[in-house]
């Protein structure tokens, strides 16, 4: 790509510098004038899609393995960006006449890789895994393949109406999207300042990789020589007679991934997460245990607290979304704004760049019909329940996307529980219906959040959203080609799956069994907690909307509070440490903080994500060779 093309990247693309608007100019027009470069730089090319597809296929297998082994799937956007850039540099060494990939080609590659590596594995690794444990038999690939494809594609299409609101208007951070954009900018930039940022990013990347290796590496020589670092350093504390050491995740996880994400997320959300987590661990959790509502400390988060955390996220997200109804309608091109005193309709400046509403209709309608049909044919789920599941999944996907935008955490598990509760009422005592309905929500929510994260990167880099959407759409098929065969090769039977001791799969199994027996299985105190948390979520959303600019930074984040009740304390603590580090840095040395905070945080996230993905690929290869 010509060097002068890089100079077209406007200052808005950094995600931190604000460009002054000209008189009468909208935010969209500012972005179009100063950032957009999609018509001048190669973006949706065959080499970008193929590179992203191949990397995404490998990473989808690694994510499937980590989902089974540790109950966690790693985002692959940054990993793919770094790998693609390095691989293409090696290609150019061998074949110097090959042109360098443009920054937007790499961004397009990122979208393809993300869809392939992340948005296709949630259903395969979780729902079909839990179903295997329950029934003892594999679901045929003729069901797994179309089921996963339809739900992943629905997630891609349903993200379309959210993009203009969450990214263009609200400017939600989507920290992994910022990190991916910063990674690409640092790799492609040539200015002195950019070189400094690139060095800081690389240094943080190496640090993150080293930490990730010694924490997550399972190599015998590491363990034998006591070089492996524990994944959690437990804190010693007691509250109301309960030893908090027994609570899951009470301590510090030596991870730069959470610290880097916290630096990008900011203090408001991270402090809300810490306060909520402290309240759960030091007060509500011990009280629940002492009252014998829950007997096992590990079940406080996995069972009791999850319901309240989900409720606050659902009600706050729906309320915030409803309060922006005019913007939502405008983003769908339903509302046309007329200039005062004239009959001239204001033309949307991004009409030829954003994904049009008709694409949404063309995609969602047949996919929704296909989903309902598959649910009926494969698992005898009634069409009414199937349609309700799809509609509810869209709403919950919206909540998941907002949570991802604010905190970089997609509360997929929490959202699935809402679907499971609804289905438990509509189709009681039907465990298969309950489980597979939740799987639809899982894939739709993860796919939507993944696409918006990539669209955030594209927005910062000046990409064409339509081309990114097509890249993401193609990535789903690459992922399917890898993850479905890998599932059967890695897990040939129930006994093989049980050897993994899959934590998240076991949670899905237990929740499905409990809910299939009726809503009364949820403790009464947890049901009251859902009601209280629901009203709190509405109140916080209203405060966030109508509070003055002076007080808005002090309004607790509803998403932060909700997430703090569905994740271990160590996660919330890591996020807070990152936000605290960035805040102190800005107070002590504002200029250097503006220069280094984002690239260093992005590098830390990229480094640990990259090494964890590589370790997962090695472990997946070993598992494949054994079978």
The mean of the pLDDT values for the chain is 78
Q: Average pLDDT, stretch 302-331?
A: 68
The C-alpha atoms of residue 198 and residue 189 are separated, in whole angstroms, by 8
Report the percentage of the chain scoring pLDDT > 90.
11
Structure token pair of residue 167: 């990214």
pLDDT value for 331 = 41
The C-alpha atoms of residue 343 and residue 487 are separated, in whole angstroms, by 59
For residue 623, is pLDDT > 70?
A: no
Structure token pair of residue 468: 């990114």
* Confidence class for position 332, pLDDT limits 50, 70, 90: very low
* Confidence class for position 521, pLDDT limits 50, 70, 90: low
For residue 428, is pLDDT > 80?
A: no
Residues in the chain: 627
pLDDT value for 197 = 65
pLDDT value for 581 = 94
pLDDT value for 157 = 86
Q: Are 444 and 158 in contact (CB under 8 A)?
A: yes
pLDDT value for 1 = 32
Higher local confidence (pLDDT), 360 or 278: 278
* Confidence class for position 6, pLDDT limits 50, 70, 90: very low
For residue 74, is pLDDT > 70?
A: no
Higher local confidence (pLDDT), 606 or 331: 606
* Confidence class for position 177, pLDDT limits 50, 70, 90: confident
Q: Average pLDDT, stretch 346-372?
A: 81
Q: Phi/psi at 55 (nearest 5 deg)?
A: -65, -40
Q: For residues 286, 289, 293 and 297, what is the CA-based torsion angle, rounded to 10 degrees?
A: 110
Least confident interval from 94-108, 191-205, 534-548: 191-205
Q: Average pLDDT, stretch 574-591?
A: 91
Q: Average pLDDT, stretch 435-440?
A: 83
pLDDT value for 9 = 32
Predicted structure pTM score: 0.67
Higher local confidence (pLDDT), 111 or 515: 111
User: Each residue of 247-291: pLDDT tens digit?
Assistant: 888 888 888 888 888 888 889 888 998 999 999 999 998 888 888
For residue 412, is pLDDT > 50?
A: yes
C-alpha dist (Å) from residue 114 to 152, 473, 474, 548? 12, 10, 11, 38
User: Each residue of 449-475: pLDDT tens digit?
Assistant: 878 888 898 888 888 888 988 998 999
Least confident interval from 62-71, 197-206, 518-527: 62-71
Least confident interval from 19-28, 353-362, 404-413, 532-541: 19-28
Q: Which of 68-77, 192-201, 228-237 has the highest mean pLDDT?
A: 228-237
**Tokens 């770094």, residue located:** 82
Work out the number of other CB atoms within 10 angstroms of the CB of residue 267: 18
Residues facing 252 on adjacent strands: 233
**Tokens 């608007």, residue located:** 21
* Confidence class for position 123, pLDDT limits 50, 70, 90: low
* Confidence class for position 413, pLDDT limits 50, 70, 90: low
DSSP 249-283: T-EE---HHHHHHHHHH-HHHHHHHHHHHHHIIII
Higher local confidence (pLDDT), 158 or 147: 147
Q: Average pLDDT, stretch 49-73?
A: 77
Residues facing 338 on adjacent strands: 345
pLDDT value for 118 = 74
């Amino acid at each position: 790509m010509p060097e002068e093309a890089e100079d077209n990247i406007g200052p808005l693309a950094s995600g931190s510098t604000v460009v002054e608007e000209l008189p009468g100019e909208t935010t969209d027009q500012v972005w179009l004038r100063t950032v957009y470069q999609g018509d001048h730089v190669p973006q949706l090319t065959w080499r970008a899609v193929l590179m992203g597809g191949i990397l995404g296929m490998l990473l989808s297998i690694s994510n499937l393995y980590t989902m089974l082994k540790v109950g966690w799937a790693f985002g692959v956007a940054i990993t793919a960006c770094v790998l693609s850039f390095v691989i293409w540099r090696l290609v150019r060494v061998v074949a110097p006449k090959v042109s360098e990939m443009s920054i937007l080609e790499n961004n397009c590659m990122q979208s393809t890789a993300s869809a392939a590596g992340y948005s296709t594995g949630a259903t395969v690794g979780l729902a079909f895994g839990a179903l295997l444990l329950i029934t003892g038999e594999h679901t045929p690939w003729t069901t797994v393949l179309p089921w996963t494809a339809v739900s992943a594609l629905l997630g891609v299409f349903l993200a379309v109406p959210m993009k203009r609101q969450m990214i263009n208007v609200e400017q939600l951070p989507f920290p992994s999207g910022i990190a991916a954009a910063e990674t690409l900018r640092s790799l492609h930039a040539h200015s002195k300042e950019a070189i400094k940022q690139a060095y800081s990013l690389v240094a943080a990347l190496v640090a993150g990789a080293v930490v990730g290796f010694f924490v997550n590496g399972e190599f015998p020589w590491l363990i034998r020589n006591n070089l492996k670092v524990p994944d959690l350093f437990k804190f010693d504390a007691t509250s109301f007679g309960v030893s908090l050491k027994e609570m899951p995740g009470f301590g510090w996880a030596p991870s730069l991934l959470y610290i880097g994400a916290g630096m990008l997320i900011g203090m408001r959300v991270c402090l809300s997460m810490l306060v909520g987590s402290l309240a759960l661990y030091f007060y509500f959790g011990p009280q629940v245990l002492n009252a014998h509502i829950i007997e096992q400390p590990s079940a406080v988060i996995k069972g009791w607290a999850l319901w309240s955390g989900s409720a606050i996220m659902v009600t706050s997200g729906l309320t915030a979304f409803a309060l922006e109804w005019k913007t939502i309608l405008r983003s769908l091109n339903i509302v046309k704004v007329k200039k005062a005193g004239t009959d001239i309709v204001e033309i949307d400046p991004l009409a030829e760049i954003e994904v049009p509403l008709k694409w949404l209709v063309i995609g969602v309608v047949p996919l929704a019909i296909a989903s309902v049909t598959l649910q009926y044919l494969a698992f005898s789920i009634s069409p009414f329940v199937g349609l309700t599941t799809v509609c509810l999944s869209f709403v919950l996907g919206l909540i998941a996307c907002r949570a991802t935008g604010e905190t970089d955490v997609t509360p997929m598990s929490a959202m699935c529980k809402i679907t499971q509760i609804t289905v438990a009422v509509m189709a009681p005592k039907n465990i298969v219906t309950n489980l597979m309905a939740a799987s639809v929500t899982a894939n739709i929510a993860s796919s939507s959040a993944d696409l918006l994260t990539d669209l955030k990167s594209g927005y910062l880099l000046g990409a064409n959203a339509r081309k990114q959407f097509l890249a993401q759409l193609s990535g789903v098929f690459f992922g399917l080609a890898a993850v479905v065969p890998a599932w059967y090769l890695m897990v040939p039977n129930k006994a093989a799956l049980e050897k993994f001791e899959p934590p998240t799969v076991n949670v899905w199994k237990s929740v499905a069994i409990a809910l299939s027996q009726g809503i009364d299985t949820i403790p009464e105190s947890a049901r009251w907690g859902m009601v209280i948390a629901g009203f709190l979520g509405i109140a916080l959303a209203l405060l966030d909307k109508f509070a003055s600019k002076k007080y808005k930074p002090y309004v607790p984040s509803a998403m932060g509070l909700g997430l703090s009740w569905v994740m271990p304390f160590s996660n919330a603590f890591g996020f807070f440490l990152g936000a605290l580090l960035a805040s102190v840095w800005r107070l002590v040395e504002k200029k250097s903080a503006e220069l280094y905070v984002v690239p260093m945080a992005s590098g830390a996230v990229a480094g640990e994500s990259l090494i964890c993905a590589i370790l997962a690929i090695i472990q997946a290869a070993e598992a494949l060779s054994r079978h």
